[in-house]
Copies of this chain bind each other. A is one copy, B any other.
Amino acid sequence: MSVEWLRRLRRGGPAERPGGARESVPRSPQPAPPRYRRPKFLRGGEESPRGGRAVRGAGPERPLPWGSGYAEVINAEKSEFNEDQAACCQISVRRREPGLEEDQEWLILCSTQFLTGYYWALFDGHGGPEAAIIASDYLHYCIKQKLEEVAGAIVEARPPMHLSGRCVCDSDPQFVEEKHIHAEDVVVGALENAFQECDEVIGQEMEATKQTGGCTALAALYFQGKLYVANAGDSRAILVLKDTIVPMSSEFTPETERQRLQHLAFLFPKLLDGEFTRFEFPRRLKGDDVGQKVLYRDYFMEGWGYKLVEKADLKYPLVHGHGKQARLLGTLSVSRGLGDHQLKVIDTNIEVKPFLSCIPKVNVFDFALHDIKEDDVLIMATDGLWDVLCNEEVAHMARSFLADNRTNPQRFSELAKSLACRARGKKRGHQWMLDDSQEASYDDISVFVIPLHNRVEDS
């Protein structure tokens, strides 16, 4: 099983690679939790002194794919570690011809049977840094593996009904066409399955090493001329083009997913164990409200109604608070992500995981349909940035910075630093403030700036 393969790879046991070759890595006798570290491409190094919240970026000595820029800032003592993590790499997808023997496969390896993808991802951990570290180590493996499983189907515009390419029915190609299934849909399916598999890996690892916690995941994949952005959580990616901003993700929070969460509680009331109410009210109700009709929403409502308040409605609501204060079961501020398999509501036996989803929403951008200009970029960032800067501000900064620095080869890296620095603000007394005297971000902040104009096409 594929999860087993990843586990063994991680533990250092003999791991069967997708191609069937075995890799020998020394086996550790006992599973150990992942060691805290910063993204691999930053080449280790210690955390910078905390008080300063220095902006850290990738240096020019080890360029990231496409000359992307990256920058990060630790939180203002919200947690012991910077719980954000980042990863980026090239993904080589080996195309296996089904049914070929190993020696025949070797022949294919010698020719050009690799598809190249490029990958960038951000993970925002909670309840500890471990889940984000594991996710940053493995999500790209999961994506690579899921793409390899369907590699035969994604090189043609129309994927075949049977992965083997063998036609069982003469009209199979017509059925595929009638359903409007394109290669791009199979890549989206691979990403959806990869997130699910990565979540399983994290669940097994965290249980084996007695760790807890979870993370959001925002992954961008450039593959076969298209950009796929898969998101589970509250990070965000936007395309900043010359004349327009294209949102490439939407956030999944207890507020944006209220109806899904309430519906689950309606279908399985036991999940709330008598401790929570699934109804939403503008504020937590109290004794004086009993017998009154107050504003409420149930799972089927986008509008609001009035409900006669009973004693049971005084329980803590399943989804409560709004904006950054919104919480699921009083516990989590996101409704999708990886990990959290062991998470329980404090002082109860109520599990949070049944309400969480690890499935990303995938948005696709087809470069063939757009005329990409020199300064066009994809900007990915964790909520630390977006909490204090809106899309328009970020786009404005990107456009003016890039226009003013055309000849600087480090401009994407410097733009990333500049964005992180702007969101962190400056320290005045004990407070971090934005330029306009608004409160700045106290959260971890991570930013990728990915240039789109001179992107490397598949080898």
Query: Which A-B residue pairs are the 10 nearest by beta carbons?
Result: A188-B303, A189-B303, A163-B293, A189-B305, A175-B282, A175-B283, A300-B359, A163-B306, A185-B304, A189-B304
Task: Specify which of B172, B306, B362 is in contact with A153 (CB 8 Å cutoff).
Answer: B306
A58 in contact (CB, < 8 A): no
Residues of B within 8 A of A306 (CB): 149-150, 153, 163, 186
* A305 touching B181, Cβ below 8 Å: no
In the complex, whether A297 has a CB less than 8 A from a CB of chain B is yes
Query: Does A64 belong to the interface (CB within 8 Å)?
Result: no
Chain B: CB-nearest residue to A189: B303
> In the complex, which residues 146-175 of chain A have their Cβ closer than 8 Å to any Cβ of chain B?
149-150, 153, 159, 161-164, 166, 168-169, 171-172, 175
- Contact of A304 with B362 in the complex, beta carbons under 8 Å: no
The residues of B that contact A193 with a CB separation of less than 8 Å are: 301, 305
- Among B150, B286, B295, contact of A159 (Cβ-Cβ < 8 Å): B295
A169 to B362, CA, bound (A): 43
Give the CA-CA distance A288 to B168 in the complex, in Å. Answer: 7
Q: Report the interface size class on chain A.
A: 35 or more
Q: Is A302 an interface residue (CB 8 A)?
A: yes
Whether, in the assembled complex, A192 has its beta carbon less than 8 Å from a beta carbon of chain B, the answer is: yes
B300 and A192 within 8 A (CB): yes
Which residue of B is nearest A361, CB measured? B302
Residues of B close to A292: CB separation below 8 A: 162-164, 166, 168
A275 at the interface (CB under 8 A from B): no
Which residue on B lies nearest to A195, using beta carbons?
A: B300
Q: A178-B282, A267-B267 are in contact. Are A301 and B164 (CB under 8 A)?
A: no
Known: A303-B192, A306-B150, A362-B303. A289 touches B168 (CB 8 A): yes
> How distant is A154 from chain B, measured CB to nearest CB, in Å?
11
Inter-chain CA distance A293–B163, complex, in Å, is 6
A323: B residues at CB distance < 8 A: 178
Residues of A within 8 A of B (CB): 149-150, 153, 159, 161-164, 166, 168-169, 171-172, 175-176, 178-179, 181, 184-193, 196, 267-268, 282-283, 286, 288-289, 292-295, 297, 300-306, 322-323, 357, 359, 361-362
Q: Are B196 and A305 in contact (CB under 8 A)?
A: no
Q: Are B189 and A301 in contact (CB under 8 A)?
A: yes
CA distance A288 to B170 in the complex (A): 13
Determine if B267 and A304 form an interchain contact, defined as CB atoms under 8 angstroms apart: no
How far apart are the CA atoms of A169 and B295 in the complex, in Å?
Answer: 14
24 CB contacts below 8 A, A to B, read: A149-B306, A159-B295, A161-B282, A161-B283, A161-B295, A164-B292, A164-B293, A169-B283, A175-B282, A176-B295, A178-B323, A179-B282, A179-B322, A181-B295, A185-B304, A186-B305, A188-B302, A188-B304, A189-B301, A189-B303, A190-B305, A191-B303, A192-B300, A267-B268
Please state if A297 and B166 are interface contacts (CB–CB under 8 Å): no
**Across the interface, which residues of B come within 8 angstroms of A295, CB to CB?**
159, 161, 176, 181, 186
Shortest C-beta distance, A363 to chain B (Å), equals 10
CA distance A188 to B196 in the complex (A): 36
Q: Is the CB of B289 within 8 A of A181?
A: no
Q: What residues on B are CB-neighbors of A150 within 8 Å?
A: 305-306
Q: How far is the CA of A163 from the CA of B306 in the complex (A)?
A: 7
B contact residues around A166 at 8 Å (CB):
292
Q: How far is the CA of A162 from the CA of B293 in the complex (A)?
A: 6
Minimum Cβ distance to chain B for residue A126 (Å): 22
Q: Which residues of B contact A178 (CB under 8 A)?
A: 282, 322-323
A395 vs B22: C-alpha distance when bound (angstroms): 64
Bound: A193/B123 CA distance, A: 40
Question: Are A282's CB and B185's CB within 8 A?
Answer: no
Residues of B within 8 A of A191 (CB): 303
Residue of B nearest to A166 (CB): B292
